[in-house]
Each structure stands twice: as C-alpha cells, then as structure tokens.
Structure 1
Amino acid sequence: MKSEVEYFAFIVNKDGIQPSPKKVEAILKVPEPENVKELQSWLGLVNYYRKFIPDMSTVLQPLNELLTKKSKWNWNENCKKSFLKISKFLSSTKVLAHYDPNVNIELAVDASPYGLGCVISHRYENGEERPIAYASRTLTSAERNYSQIEREALAIIFGVTRFHQYLYGRKFTLITDNKPLSLLLGPKTGIPMLAASRIQRWAIQLSEFETFLKKNGVKHILSAPYHPSSNGEAERAVRTFKQAMKTVKNESGTLSEKLCRFLLGYRTTPHSTTKRTPAELFVGRRLRTRLDTLKPNINERMQRQRSKTKPCRDIAKGEPVLVRDYRDNNKWKQGVIVHKLGPVTYQVQVGDLVWKRHIDQIREFVPQENKDIPNILENTKSDIDTELIIVPTCNSNRDTENSENNNESERTKITENKTVENANDTIITRRSERIRKAPERLIENI
C-alpha cells in the first residue's frame, strides 16, 4: 500500500496535502517575464497553488498593476521583489493539514490597501497550528475607498464566505489585528447605532444563529438523529414535491416552468383542514386562476353592485342633440347621433363633419316653437332697451300738456340717439311696445 499519492499536481498523504515538487521546480525555473503575456502565463501557474501562499493578493499587487490597460510595461524593483517572494513561498511551502471536524478551527484575516487575505487552520491540543488553506483577493476600485476598519470588516466577511463549508454549523475562533472590530462585531457587545450602515449589515450577517433565535423569541426544536419522521411536515412537503415532479416529467416546458406550474397549483389548492388556500392565508386574498373563468362569481357580484348605482343616460341613434364646439364662440351646435362607440362615447353628425364626443359634452336638444322670434327680438332689442315711458300726473291741463310735450321731446331724442353702447348685448326685455296715453279724467276738464 502506498503512503502517499500524487493527484492533479498535489501530493496527498496522512500528514496533509502539499504541492508536487516537480510542479514547484518548474515554476521556480521560470525566468523573469519580459512582457505582459509571459507575466500572465507565470501568474496562471502560481494561482494554481494559491491556497499555499498567504496574503497572495497583496504580494502580487505590483505585478497586477502591469496587467491593466492604462499602465505601460515597467519591470521595476517592486515587481522583482514580488516575483522573488512568491518563489520563496513556493520553495518553503508548509504541508497543508487535512480538515478534521473534531479539532478546533481558527480563521485569521487581514486587509491591506490593495487586497484581502485569510487563512483557516487547525489548533491542536499540543498548541501546534497547521494551516488548512489560504485565500486572498484584490480590492475593487470602490472597495479601495473604504476606511481601514471597513476593509478589515470586509476581510472577515470574505474569510467566512470563502471557507463557509468548513465553518458552517460549528464554533470557531476569529482572529483579527483590528481592536475596534472586536467591540463592534464581538459577541459580548451589541451593534452600535452610530456605526456605519455597512458594518451594521455585516454584524447581523456574522451574528450567531442561537443569539438570533433568542432575540426574536424563536424556539428551535431539533429532531432526533436518524429519525426523519420527527420532522413530519418537512418530509411530507418533500414527498409532495417529488410526486408532482414525477407527474409532470413528460410534459412540455423547462424544469423552471414545471416548477412554477406546480407551485401555482399547490398554493391555490384549498387545504383539507383550513378549507382555504395557502396563498389566501399568506396574502389575504385568493389568487386568480383559469378555474375562475369557469365560475365568474366575482363578475356577477360586480354587475349587481353596478346595478345599484345610477346608470348613464342612453341616447338613441338618430336623436337630435346639442354638442360642445370648441372652435367657435357659440359653444353648442346642433347635431344628430350617428353611432354609439361605448357606454359614454358617441359619434355625432354636425353638418358635413362627424365628431366624437363624451356624454358630458352632449345636451338634449329642445326645438323652439317659433324660430323667427329670436331674430325679431334681436332686430328690435336696441329700440326696446332704449325706450323710456313717462306717465304724467293729474295736476292740471297745463301740466298734462307740458308732460305730453316733454314725452314727445324725450322720445324724439332717444330715437335720434338710438346707437347702443354695447352692440353685442343680448339681453331681451319683455315689456310692451305700446305707447301709453294718460287717461281722461273729469277733474282735468273742469
């Protein structure tokens, strides 16, 4: 039996995993790159062993700047130091330990102005620390504007996310060199209200699940191991889903479409106990499905409700009406209904034109008994409006004669000055046109 095996350029044995010496030797023999393509080729070889190199993104920062489009090729002293430092890491690489769920885990994180780095390791009972894997990445242009404390917090989020498969569901020790973060994100202190909103979100993301349950009053009941029937509701839901997927296996459509159809049918099916659909219990109303078109109860209720309100007046075809005209001072013109376009919209024939009008723009047409009367009144309105009748008093014959003379002179003056001040005045008076004469009394003849 072999004590170790080489698998995809890695040596795996009982102590852990390490890079293949042949592969490392080939990387160390590569000369310094002279152009961008050679640098990209070398970085591709080095990135294959990224998890063996701590804080790799920060070390490679001078070399990564040469790959940007705006920068010119300039192999300076910093680039040479980064190249030699990576070669030194590979030549003295420690053997990465195998992950053991029974050994304590530590996660160390750090941040620089250019990148993030983290390492997950085991802490054994004798105090020895052995790394399991390294991880790093460069900062984006927006992340480089973060403050140092925000970059350190981002490094924690990056480490927890990258090694999620190792950390989920178990306790571990988080190591950072930023003291304020231990107060902001620590388990013994709450989240300060004055902290940045970004750090507050990260603190909630990193909070313990048990603490979350206690603060929100959730009682987490764990089922017994190897007894799935303890969680009967979840098992029944899985069984229903499997049956539905087997039923629609031969139907047309993608898997996503089949899943959507199943969820719609499941959420709109009344429960045997509650007699209501899950969607109705969740959103407070029934979801509309194709079954509703077969039983239009809602439409009937709407029709009954509409019948209680006052209906719109109906105008028959061919009925004479008055319609609103927005082009002339005479705002209303006579027309005839041609066609009913909708409940409140009509086509009206006005002369040679056909207008479309709302029922609010249509009035009932009332024909006049004598159409010549308005013309006669318009012709005589100035005379009628300007006539002034003076009735004489019965003092004496002399007074009567004087009054009659005065009346005649008054009428003569008014007749001569019949020009109306306002020619557009349309007020029509209804007093009589007859010229009144004073009655003859006996006392006046004495």
Structure 2
Amino acid sequence: MEDGSERPKAFASRSLSKSERNYSQIDKEALGIVWGVKKFYQYLYGRLFILLTDHQPLTSIFHPEKGIPMTTAARLQRYALFLAGFQYDIKYKSTRHANADCLSRLPLVSKQETEGDTVETFIVSHMDTLPVTSKEISRETLKDPTLSKVYTTVQRGWIEGEDKCLGIFYNKRVEISIHQNCLFWGIRVIVPSALRQRVLDELHEGHVGVVKMKGLARSYVWWPGIDTDIEHVCKSCTGCQEVKHAPPAAPIHPWEWPSIPWQRIHIDFAGPFLDMMFFVAVDAHSKWPEVVPMKMTTAEKNVEVMREIFSRNGVPAQVVSDNGPQFVSEHFSNFMRCNGIKHTTSAPYHPSTNGLAERFVQSFKGAMKASKKDSGSVQKRLANFLLAYRNSKHMTTNETPAKLFIGRNLPSRLDLIKPDIRRRVDEQRWKQESKRQVPCRSFSVGEPVSIRDYCGSQKWIYGKVAEKTGPVSYKVEIAPGVFWRRHLDQLRATEVVEKPSEVNLPVKGDVTPNSPTVLLENTVSNKSRVIDNSVSSVPSTMCQESSSEVSSPSPVIEPCPTPENMLTPKRRYPRRNIVPPKKLQDFVTT
C-alpha cells in the first residue's frame, strides 16, 4: 500500500503428496514458490513482480541475474528454468512477517491425487496404443458382469423364461456362440464394455465417417448400442466436425408476392465492377429494376440515390437488404424511420434471403461483361440493358416489368417492325399534301369573294365573307340575310362588288331536274331567307344540315321536296320477283 503496509489479495494452499513429503526442506520451499507462480499464472505472466521467501539460499539459486550453480540438484534446476520465463525479483524476508494465513497450518485430511507432469502426459497421449487381441477379449469377457452371465448361459443352454433378464442377448440367443473363449454373434465378436472405447478408436483411426465406420464394424465386432456409440465418436471428434459438410439446404420459403407495384423493393450493391459500384433496386411485384452507378458507397450517398429513386417511383412500404455497413448505419435507419419504411435485413452471410436482388446482380454483371466489345460508354450499355430487360418477359410473372409497373411496354426500335395503321395513314396524308404544292389561301371577314353557285344558271355569283367556320370552310353572305356555306375550293378572290338586288336567287317552282333546291316559306313575317344550294349529286339531307348553322331566330326549313317532273333514274338491275316457297303452298299466308 502507499503507507508501506501489505494487504493480501488472494490465498491459495494445497497439501503435499506422499512423495513430496519426502523432499528436503529447500525442495519444499522451492516447490511452494513454483506452485504459487503456477497458481497465479494469469496475473503474473508478462508483469514484473517480487518473490518473497523466508529461505535465503533460494535467493541465489532463483536469482534472475545469476547463473544456476553447477552443484544444484536437478529438481531445483528445472524449477529455475521454469521461473526464467517470468520477470521477477526475489528477496529474502524473515518469518516474522506472518503473512501466511491459517490454511498453511491446517492441511486437508482427504487424500489428493498427484497431478501428473505435463510433459509426461503429452508424451503418453501421443504413444501408439496396442491393438485389442482375442486374449484380451476372452479375459475381459469373464470379468464383464453381463457378458459373463451370457457366457455361462450359452455353455449350459438357454432356459425358456428364466434368462429373459439378459434382454437383447436373449432375443439373439439362437445366433450367439462361443469360440476360443470369445462370444460371437454370427461372425462378429461381442466386445466387453472395458474394451469398447479402444475398439471405437481403432474404427475411427482413418476418420472415414459414420457410414464407413458402421460398415467396417459389421464385419468384425458388435455390442448393444454400437451404432449410437459410433455416431457419438464422430460427433465428438473435432477434426471430423471441422471438415464436415454443411447440412442440407432448408426448403425454399418464397417471399409473399405484393399486390401492387413498388410495395416492397430489394436493394443491393453490385461491384466493384467496371471501376465503380452500382446501386441496384428491384420491385418485388413487377421485377422493375433500377440501377445507379456510384463512385462512393457511403450511407449518405446511398440515401441520396434512394431519395432520387423515390421521387420518381414513390416511397415503398418495405425495403429488404443485406447487412452491409451502408444499410445498418444510423443515418440509413433514420432515413427509413422518417419515411415510414419497414427495413428488413437478411440473415448474416446468407445472400439467398435477398435472392431477388442477388439474381438481378448476376444477370446485370453477365450482360455488362458480354457487352464489353460493343461501342459506347458504360452508361450507354447500361441504358440498353435496362431497356431490353424492362421489355422482356420475366420467368416468374410471365409479363414484362414495364407492363406490370407502368401498364404498358416501353417503345423501342423493335416497334418499327410491326405494321402500324396510324403510321400508314399519316404517311398517306403526308403524300397527299406533298402532291398539292400550292400555297394555302385564306379570306378575312368582309372580304368580297366569288362563290360557286349550283342552283342558278350562273356558275359564279358574288358575295362577301361573313364568318370562318373551319380551317377551309367559310360562310358567305350573298344577299341580305341569305348565307351560303362553302369550301375554300369553292371560293375565289375578286374585286367585283355586285349589289344584292342583282343576284338571281332561285324562285319556287323554278326547279330543274338536275338541280334540286331548298324551298323556304315565309312563315314568319319580316324574317330573312336562308337558301343553301347544294350539288346535284348531293341528297336533300344537306339542306337540313345547312339549316342547323343559321343563327337564331331562323325561319322554318322544310325538307326538300322531290319535284314531280324530276327524272327517275333507270334501274341498273332488273326487279326481282319474290315467290313464296313451294312447301308453303298448302298453307294460307298473309
């Protein structure tokens, strides 16, 4: 202690063996020092400590800086060699210190077994054991309490009902025999219990395994429970357990298929590959992959990449990953908690738990390695792979990832192979427009124009544009309150302005066979008349269509009557005479 006093930390004592009691006094004192150092070895080794002894001659013999005298006894020399492996100082102290407790004065009365020498035990354990012979078998059979009874019973004969206490030997009594004072079951020697361990060691000599040990034993030896003993020997052998194969793989337990896209995603890292790392995320519902090249794979960069992916596809409900440092960090855990995502990790060193991501990593690496000879950067090859993968059917779902994820396949250059009606129509329209290389004309409201007349004797009459009703359609005022609708091809620019009174409008009754007109009746006084002429080949329904374009109030427009003097077109084919079938001749039909 700091004040110079001594306080004991631990006590240890033992009784001397019968041979140690015959030691000389100096040997007993040396034995106490050596045994004390061995007892507190874990506290003394590697540290500088002080040995206090009340036997002064040992301070010279065990002094760490002095050599061992040549006349020292062999036992003391061994003790000195043992202490040479420690760092210590030895000092003499008289017996007046009284540090020894009462245990040194009260030895144990019970007998203690002498501890064997470590070197001797090591040498004996490496000596080859002698084989078990038939003489040992016969001698130990007579000493074994059970086999001795079986031996006697076999000699005098089995008695029905009296020898059932022998158990399994009684059931095999017909096959048990004696040969040269050894019991045999068939061709196999029945080994007594005292020699069974040696026989097991002999069977296990080559470390051939349980099956081969049992096969070898069935040719030589037997005793009750030999199969269980052989299995126990193999299971307790450290060498056999170290090289033993892994147990059979557990039955496959697939993940539950999510009902909607992007509900559960599996993430992992691929690489180092092509001088970079690739962050991989796969949707469990549609198998839609996301691959992002990364130079650094820290937790912060990982969170940034996932936040960018979530901004496009949304926040999933569950994320499955392995136990990588990026996925188990506090920063990543906080990101999962803040977004309400359930984070599930696989078992350590068991990648098949995250098999969806691992399998995609395998496909991704194979495709990128195969495309090394293709021209283009890594980013271009990655984009081509993702487009092809997302448009290819997956073996599990039998649908393309794009179809299940966004409801349609991604357009690609392969779509140009299939005929497309819309594309063909657009091409034909473009051809028609390219054939007519004329500038597009247009008219403004109030501009004088010549309008095609299909009712009167004049081919062109004059008017002015009242309204533009379509891209190439106009409404033209030919008289006060009279409007005609014409196509751009039926109009032409003019500078002639004709008074409305000079316009020859068709009169009721003035109808030619080839020029049907719309007859309007002035049912409402002081109302304007609207006459919509049409081509002779156009039916009278166009008269009704034109009436719908007249702004309210509008006159009542009657259907175009067919004139009595209109020519009836000649039939192209003869009229068919309809005759009832002969099977109805006997019936009255109405």
* TM norm structure 2: 0.20
The structure richer in helix per residue is 1
* TM norm structure 1: 0.25
Larger Rg: 2
